[in-house]
């Protein structure tokens, strides 16, 4: 590191490398200048960042960052997002380090989504923020956690998309558009209110369909030759080729219609691909048996903490609900849903007396 007075200014500047001359010039672009540029340059239907953004709790704008960039930073620095590294994508607590986790899935969704957003001239930071945050509401051990937690939330049930936006990410005070994209990224939900959110919905499906198949091949469950001809003949058997074909089909839809969608025959191939994955990966007998174990384990943990709410972290910050009450159950769901796979499995042994050999397994 070198420290020296700047020759033109009354300021001392430290540099990381001795003798460096990392000249930039041109001054800085503040947030308002960047907003003005984007307002002029983005596609007509793209979402424009404005000021501090539309948040539940009003904030002062950042001098340099766009409101959606602040959301993106908050997501990346948050505990719920970091814990996705310990939550499985398909295979519970995988021992193979190359199998996807929820975190690597989120990163791959963001890669696909931002690639589409750039080419379609949409708001990239909003797209990336939605993509990285979209699964923060997932519980441990995959989608079976939704079935495990739903009985404890009467009326609404547990939907990872809704829970992520309304509960898990609520402390971050994200922009309305970001939360809307998270809440409605699932195709079973209403359509997102922004084209960026719709891009993430497509990117999520493209990413998980392709990489879950690749992981199943790596795990020895399937082979590339198992892929149906209706998929293989359109997008091939290589993940890179598959994703590239699907992304180009989305961009073709944008180019030809001005709207987010996917042209045929890729759209039909994606639907067939997903149906194949459900039959041969997600709903295969071994997966169903493991899902039943997951539900039993997670409900046991929720019941344990609902009956002893004083043991929950929230008990240190407010009035403890009555044991066994609906509020205690909601607190317990909040706590257990945030657990990583291994932490939940460990508590199954420690608190519930499960034998290690009886715990849910990934493959």
pLDDT in tens, 134-160: 999 999 998 999 999 999 999 889 999
Shared domain for 260 and 230, answered yes or no, is: yes
Shared domain for 151 and 17, answered yes or no, is: no
Task: Please name the residues in contact with 230: beta carbons below 8 A apart, sequence gap of 6 or more.
Answer: 268, 269, 272
Q: Is the pLDDT of residue 361 over 80?
A: yes
pLDDT, tens only, 185-228: 999 999 999 999 999 999 999 999 999 999 999 999 999 999 99
**342 in a domain, yes or no?**
no
**23 in a domain, yes or no?**
yes
**52 in a domain, yes or no?**
yes
Shared domain for 258 and 165, answered yes or no, is: yes
Shared domain for 106 and 146, answered yes or no, is: yes
With beta carbons less than 8 A apart as the criterion, state whether 189 and 70 touch: no
For 340-350, b where at least 16 C-beta lie within 10 A, e where not — what string?
A: bbebbbbbbee
**330 in a domain, yes or no?**
no
Predicted confidence band of residue 95 (pLDDT cuts 50, 70, 90): confident
**310 in a domain, yes or no?**
no
Shared domain for 9 and 59, answered yes or no, is: no
Q: Is the pLDDT of residue 8 over 90?
A: no
User: In this predicted structure, what is the pLDDT of residue 185?
Assistant: 98
Shared domain for 117 and 28, answered yes or no, is: no
**318 in a domain, yes or no?**
no
Angle (nearest 5°) at CA 213 between 140 and 279: 80
Shared domain for 142 and 87, answered yes or no, is: yes
> Which residue in 304, 340, 172, 152 sits closest to 164, CA to CA?
172
User: In this predicted structure, what is the pLDDT of residue 25?
Assistant: 85
Shared domain for 10 and 113, answered yes or no, is: no
Q: Using only C-alpha atoms, what is the Rg of the chain?
A: 23
Write down the pTM of the prediction. 0.95
Shared domain for 10 and 121, answered yes or no, is: no
User: In this predicted structure, what is the pLDDT of residue 2?
Assistant: 54
**CATH number, domain with residue 66:** 1.10.3210.10
Shared domain for 169 and 28, answered yes or no, is: no
**332 in a domain, yes or no?**
no
Q: Could you list the residue range(s) of the whole structural domain that residue 259 is in?
A: 33-38+44-286
User: In this predicted structure, what is the pLDDT of residue 4?
Assistant: 55
Shared domain for 119 and 222, answered yes or no, is: yes
Shared domain for 179 and 272, answered yes or no, is: yes
Q: Of 228, 252, 286, which residue is a domain's last? A: 286
**Average pLDDT of span 14-40:** 92
Q: Of 246, 270, 286, which residue is a domain's last? A: 286
For 267-287, b where at least 16 C-beta lie within 10 A, e where not — what string?
A: bebbebbbebbeebbbeeeeb
**358 in a domain, yes or no?**
no
User: In this predicted structure, what is the pLDDT of residue 125?
Assistant: 98
Q: What is the mean pLDDT of the chain?
A: 94
Higher pLDDT: 110 or 6? It is: 110
Q: Of 237, 254, 286, which residue is a domain's last? A: 286
Higher pLDDT: 6 or 259? It is: 259
User: In this predicted structure, what is the pLDDT of residue 9?
Assistant: 67
User: In this predicted structure, what is the pLDDT of residue 19?
Assistant: 87
User: In this predicted structure, what is the pLDDT of residue 119?
Assistant: 98
**Average pLDDT of span 171-191:** 97
**Average pLDDT of span 268-286:** 97
Omega cis (within 30) before 265: yes
Total domains present in the chain: 2
Predicted confidence band of residue 363 (pLDDT cuts 50, 70, 90): low
pLDDT, tens only, 288-322: 999 999 999 999 999 999 999 999 988 778 789 99
């Amino acid at each position: 590191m070198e420290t020296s007075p700047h020759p033109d200014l009354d300021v001392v500047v430290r540099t990381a490398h001795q003798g460096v001359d990392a000249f930039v010039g041109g001054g800085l672009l503040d947030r308002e200048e960047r907003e003005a540029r984007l307002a002029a340059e983005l596609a007509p239907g793209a979402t424009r960042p404005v000021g501090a953004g539309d948040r539940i709790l009003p904030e002062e704008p950042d001098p340099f960052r766009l409101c959606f960039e602040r959301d993106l930073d908050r997501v990346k620095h948050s505990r719920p997002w970091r814990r996705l590294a310990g939550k499985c994508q398909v295979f519970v607590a995988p021992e193979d380090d190359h199998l996807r986790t929820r975190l690597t899935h989120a990163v791959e969704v963001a890669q696909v989504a931002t690639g589409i957003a750039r080419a379609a001239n949409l708001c990239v930071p909003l797209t990336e923020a939605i993509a990285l945050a979209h699964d923060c509401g997932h519980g441990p051990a995959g989608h079976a956690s939704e079935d495990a937690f739903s009985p404890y939330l009467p009326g609404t049930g547990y939907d990872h998309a809704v829970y992520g936006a309304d509960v898990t990410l609520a402390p971050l005070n994200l922009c309305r558009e970001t939360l809307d994209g998270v809440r409605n990224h699932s195709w079973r939900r209403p359509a997102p209110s922004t084209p960026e959110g719709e891009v993430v919905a497509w990117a999520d499906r493209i990413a998980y369909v392709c990489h879950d198949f690749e992981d199943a091949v790596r795990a020895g469950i399937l082979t590339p030759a198992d892929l149906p001809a209706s998929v293989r003949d359109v997008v091939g058997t290589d993940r890179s080729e598959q994703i590239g074909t699907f992304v180009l089909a989305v961009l073709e839809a944008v180019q030809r219609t001005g709207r987010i969608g996917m042209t045929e025959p890729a759209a039909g191939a994606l639907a067939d691909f997903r149906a194949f994955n459900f039959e041969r990966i997600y709903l295969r007998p071994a997966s169903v048996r493991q899902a039943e174990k997951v539900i039993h384990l997670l409900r046991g943990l929720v019941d344990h903490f609902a009956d002893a709410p004083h043991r929950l972290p929230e008990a240190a910050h407010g009035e403890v609900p009555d044991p066994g009450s609906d509020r205690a159950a909601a607190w317990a769901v909040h706590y257990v849903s945030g657990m990583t796979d291994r932490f939940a499995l460990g508590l199954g042994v420690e608190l519930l007396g499960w034998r290690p050999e009886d715990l849910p397994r990934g493959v």
